A and B are shown apart, each in its own frame.
Chain A
């Protein structure tokens, strides 16, 4: 793994932004994760810090104390040079059920028509390969997933909906994802995932993390209902595979 030219910018009195080249790539993602890991060992009182990583950036936020930009910038550059590129965090491939029935996939017919393919082909392509989680944001548990086949790229709806259901699986531009809670939204909805991505009763409340992968598999209406009940009573067993580093 190679090092990248990084740039460091101030971001208000309490935060600092580290940016990698403006690309969506797994090499950059790996580098950000390994640097985040290195920082966890370096920043002695990590309790005082929060981190947000997304695509090509890592933001460090000091919760209470304002930071001194110039000294932290110097320190970060030094630590980046010293970094050994050993990402020790375990990455997981999660397999998540999605029901593509038109009851949930309210736009699936329109999307298939627009993309000039059958609904079956659309579902096959959407479930074919794992997606990489490049970031979590926008809403608690909302994953920014990369790796959507080009054939499934479709513009977001011209008029956003005021209400998109919790669990709705959507397509927009180069992205696919799950609405973790009911929310307004402009994505094209092709299905629904019965498993809550964010649950305050769980620890941690969000089982996925940046760097993990997600692969969808199709379930029938009947299986959807069953998985939903299992998830609600807490007996649903997530299908997970530990990925080799």
Chain B
């Protein structure tokens, strides 16, 4: 078991996502920064579907009760293993009783902690990703325990990875969304010439942007939305749906973030700046 001494600000279990239920209104969920979570699982030679911890802004304090191997990636937080600083994208051997403590956030917003074999929390509709009320919890609680498989020894092909950080990137590549053609010249200019600021309203469901662009009066019938769908409300507010975003919506879908752009955005927090760049699909 992994004992959670302190859960941190918003820590969840996430895997690649919950597929096949979107036609029943179930969001796909899964890790927000799939680039980072894929690398930490690959280093540990886990299945692509292995579940890891997604740690947001303020990290937890954790005690490992069985031997295993771990790897962290994504956001950089001051992190120590038994009071010794640890690095990202590097495998660490864990002995029963080891304590992993997260400290101050240095860069990015979401950190991923993977364990050899993946965390073994409840499996609901094909995924362990937290999404209440499908899963009983929406985030970790202090003093809870998370099961994992004991791994006394493991010879990894790679011990560590030199990763280029996505944090310095602030340009989100987008393709045209289904309602792109409805945008006016003025709206297009505002979208692609300005910098935008991440609003307070940002979470696993959606990121809102502080600056508005010109509004519109075009209504549409409710239709499918995806992670990375950029919506424009009639008042001109921009909402970017993320992994827990609803499966359908009634706001104009003006743009669609690339997969990499979703990972870049997942590492942004309130007050950070981004800009949009149009590419062909």
A17 interface contact, C-beta 8 A = yes
Nearest to A139 among chain B residues (CB) is: B25
Residues of B whose CB lies within 8 Å of any CB of A are 19-26, 124-125, 133-134, 175-178, 220-224, 226, 228-229, 246-249, 253, 256-259, 281
A217 interface contact, C-beta 8 A = no
A178–B226 Cα distance when bound, in Å, is 23
Nearest to A10 among chain B residues (CB) is: B281
A148 interface contact, C-beta 8 A = no
Nearest to B19 among chain A residues (CB) is: A63
Residue in A11, A57, A140 whose beta carbon sits within 8 Å of that of B24 in the complex: A140
Overall SS of chain B's interface: loop
Is B222's CB under 8 angstroms from A50's CB? no
Query: Which stretch (A202-210, A226-234, A236-244) binds chain B?
Result: A202-210
Q: Which of B22, B24, B222 has the most CB of A within 10 A?
A: B24
A55 interface contact, C-beta 8 A = yes
Q: For window 166-195 of chain A, which residues contact chain B by CB distance below 8 Å?
A: 180-182
Nearest to A24 among chain B residues (CB) is: B221
Contacts of B124 in A (CB 8 A): 200
How many A residues touch B, CB cutoff 8 Å? 42
Q: Closest 6 CB pairs between A and B?
A: A137-B248, A59-B224, A52-B224, A12-B256, A206-B24, A55-B221
Contacts of A38 in B (CB 8 A): none
Contacts of B19 in A (CB 8 A): 50, 63
14 A-B pairs (CB sep. < 8 Å):
A10-B175, A11-B253, A13-B175, A15-B226, A17-B178, A56-B223, A59-B224, A136-B23, A136-B25, A138-B249, A139-B25, A140-B24, A180-B25, A204-B24
Is A10's CB under 8 angstroms from B176's CB? yes
Is B133's CB under 8 angstroms from A138's CB? no
Q: Mark A57-99, 1 if CB is under 8 A from B, else 0.
A: 1010101000001000000000000000000000000000000
Is A57's CB under 8 angstroms from B25's CB? no
Contacts of B23 in A (CB 8 A): 50-53, 136, 209-210
Nearest to A180 among chain B residues (CB) is: B25
Contacts of B221 in A (CB 8 A): 22, 24, 54-57
Contacts of A139 in B (CB 8 A): 25, 246
Contacts of A137 in B (CB 8 A): 25, 222, 224, 246-249
A42 interface contact, C-beta 8 A = no
Contacts of A19 in B (CB 8 A): 178, 223
Nearest to B124 among chain A residues (CB) is: A200
Q: Which of B19, B23, B228 has the most CB of A within 10 A?
A: B23
Is A61's CB under 8 angstroms from B248's CB? no
Contacts of A105 in B (CB 8 A): none
Residue in B24, B223, B228, B258 whose beta carbon sits within 8 Å of that of A59 in the complex: B223
Residue in A11, A69, A144, A206 whose beta carbon sits within 8 Å of that of B222 in the complex: A144
Nearest to B179 among chain A residues (CB) is: A9
Is A140's CB under 8 angstroms from B26's CB? yes
A59–B23 Cα distance when bound, in Å, is 10
Q: A12-B228, A13-B281, A200-B124 are in contact. Are A54 and B22 (CB under 8 A)?
A: no
Is B24's CB under 8 angstroms from A17's CB? no
A144–B249 Cα distance when bound, in Å, is 11
Is B25's CB under 8 angstroms from A138's CB? yes
CB distance from A233 to the nearest CB of B (A): 19
Is B134's CB under 8 angstroms from A50's CB? no
Nearest to A68 among chain B residues (CB) is: B281
A104 interface contact, C-beta 8 A = no
CB distance from B251 to the nearest CB of A (A): 12
